[in-house]
């Protein structure tokens, strides 16, 4: 099989560009120390109940209208069962799982992530409107998955 001259040229150009991108990526990653941002926290899923702050899940006020919500997901429930905050509050959710992969979604907001055993996931939301907001599990976690929900009451 004969490879035409123009094919050879374009293959060489493509290979050279690929090699250049790999070299630039390596230089950025190793020589300049540029890595993707990550603040992922880890936790032993078998010791969630003994590890602060998840040993006492709940809401902690950290500012005038700012709260940290430490929550655990487990077979067909979340702890705490209900969270109450005033209107205009910013809530920083910190969620981990005791058993299997769960979901954490607050419909009508941008909060939607997976909750995996061994990891602490975080997200923040400002609640400007009064009302009740559901927190739903959107990852199948077993036979009682459809019952797994809790709520945030904004007053």
Nearest to 72 by CA among 91, 51, 90: 51
Place of tokens 């739903």: 136
Q: Quick check: 150 and 114 in contact, CB under 8 A?
A: no
Cα atoms in the 13 Å half-sphere on the side-chain side of 21:
6
pLDDT at position 39, please?
A: 67
pLDDT at position 30, please?
A: 84
Q: Over its length of 155 residues, how does the chain's per-residue pLDDT go in tens digits?
A: 787 999 999 999 999 999 999 999 998 888 877 776 666 788 898 999 899 999 999 999 999 999 999 999 999 999 999 999 999 999 999 999 999 999 999 999 999 999 999 899 999 999 999 999 999 999 998 898 888 989 999 99
Cα of 42 vs its chain's centroid, Å: 12
142: left (phi over 0), alpha (psi -120 to 50) or beta: left
pLDDT at position 72, please?
A: 95
Q: What is the pTM of this model?
A: 0.74
pLDDT at position 38, please?
A: 66
Specify the CATH superfamily of domain 41-154. Cupredoxins -  blue copper proteins (2.60.40.420)
pLDDT at position 28, please?
A: 86
pLDDT at position 37, please?
A: 64
């Amino acid at each position: 099989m004969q490879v035409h001259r123009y094919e050879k040229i374009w293959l060489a150009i493509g290979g050279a560009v690929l090699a250049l991108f790999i070299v630039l990526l390596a230089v950025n990653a190793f020589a300049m120390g540029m890595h993707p941002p990550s603040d992922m926290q880890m936790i032993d899923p078998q010791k969630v109940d003994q590890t602060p702050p998840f040993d006492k899940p709940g809401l902690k006020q950290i500012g005038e209208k700012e709260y940290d919500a430490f929550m655990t997901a487990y077979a067909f429930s979340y702890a705490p069962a209900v969270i109450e905050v005033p209107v205009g509050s910013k809530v920083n959710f910190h969620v981990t799982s005791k058993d299997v992969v769960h979901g954490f979604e607050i419909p009508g907001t941008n909060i939607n992530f997976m909750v995996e055993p061994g990891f602490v996931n975080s997200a923040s939301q400002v609640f400007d409107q009064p009302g009740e907001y559901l927190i739903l599990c959107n990852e199948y976690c077993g036979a009682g998955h459809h019952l797994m929900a809790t709520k945030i009451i904004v007053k």
